[in-house]
Amino acid sequence: MRRTLFALLALIVGVAATAAGAGTPTPTRGGAPQTASRGTQPALIAIHWVRPGDTLLGIAWRYRVTVDMIKRANGLWTDIILPGQRLDIPTRGSVAVLARRYTPAPQPIPVPRVAFQRTAREGSQGARLVQEAKRYLGVRYVWGGTSAHALDCSGLIFRVFSSYVPSLGRLRSYDYFRMSKIVAPETLLPGDLVFFTTDDPGPSHMGIFIGDGKFIHASSTAGGVTITSLDDPFYGQRFLGVRRLLNP
């Protein structure tokens, strides 16, 4: 039954593409996927139908893209894929557009005034997280960096929290935003994660709230790990909210 439904879906897509005459790719199953037209928006390299034995790593290698690109373009939260599943194989420039189908971009909200009154309680887990984060002050910014000598914004989160959460992976700011516990902005505490929309729509930048209305983050503009006020003219207007990985 399932095989029949996927076959009908493939037929419908193919007929619609032919009627439109716009060069939209017709997905195939069992054989080599048809390459997508470069003129479509958003652009796809191909539409791949998952077959038994396929893995995201193998599919990414086949099309010369990254696993992360495939996951973002298809709204995947894990590496689990199933035979018969459709995967859009994106060009690098179309990933963000495709990802928006699955994650509507949150909009900026006002920074809670209580943030400027909260301080780290001595001996608390939040205070320990803040202390650990401050160890990296001045470390230079490098996109994709996770070492003690080179970090980006999500790399800093990984360095600080991985010793407390051993299963934590090296994720993007978008992933941390989706996987962490939602916290009402007015209840934020030192050690909580704060998110901003900067380069791309949605939570494209993050840091750790340290109290007194400030957060620590790896900033490409500053060139490294630094401390910034939440009412900064740039970040204050791009604040998206608070998430919690550990109870502070």
pLDDT single digits (tens) 119-143: 989 889 999 999 999 999 999 999 9
Domain covering 113-244 assigned CATH 2.40.70.10 in the classification: no
**CA dist., res. 115 & res. 199, Å (int):** 24
Instruction: Report DSSP letters for 155-170, one per residue.
Output: HHHHHHHTTT-TT---
pLDDT tens-place string over residues 146-197: 999 999 999 999 999 998 988 787 888 888 887 788 889 999 999 999 999 9
Q: Where in the chain is the domain with CATH 3.90.1720.10?
A: 113-244
**CA dist., res. 132 & res. 161, Å (int):** 9
**CA dist., res. 146 & res. 227, Å (int):** 18
Q: What angle do CA 59, 39, 79 make, to 5 degrees?
A: 20
Residues 6+ apart with CB under 8 A from 104: none
Element counts in the chain: helices (H) and strands (E): 7, 11
pLDDT more than 90, % of the chain: 52
What is the predicted pLDDT for the residue at 41? 58
* pLDDT category of residue 78 using cuts at 50, 70 and 90: low
* pLDDT category of residue 224 using cuts at 50, 70 and 90: very high
- Count CB-CB contacts under 10 A for residue 23: 11
**CA dist., res. 107 & res. 232, Å (int):** 18
Arch. (CATH architecture) of 2-99: Roll (3.10)
CA-to-CA separations, 99 to 92, 164, 175, 200, in angstroms, rounded:
12, 30, 12, 11
Q: Where in the chain is the domain with CATH 3.10.350.10?
A: 2-99
Give the catalytic positions in this structure: 153, 205, 217
- 3-class state of residue 228 by DSSP: strand
**CA dist., res. 242 & res. 188, Å (int):** 7
